[in-house]
Amino acid sequence: MTAATRRPVAVALADLPRPGELADLLDARIPAGDWYDDVHGLPAWRRQMTLRLAEQVRAELAGVTAR
- What residue spans define the domains of the chain? 1-67
8 A C-beta contact, residue 12 and residue 48: no
* pLDDT tens-place string over residues 9-43: 998 999 999 988 999 999 999 999 999 999 989 99
Dist CA 10 CA 24 (whole Å): 15
Determine if the pTM surpasses 0.95. Answer: no
Contacts of 26 (CB under 8 A, 6+ apart): 1, 11, 50, 51, 54
Strand partners, 35: 5
Judged against a pLDDT cut of 70, whether residue 66 lies above it is answered with: no
Phi-psi region of 37 (alpha: psi -120 to 50; beta: other; left: phi over 0): beta
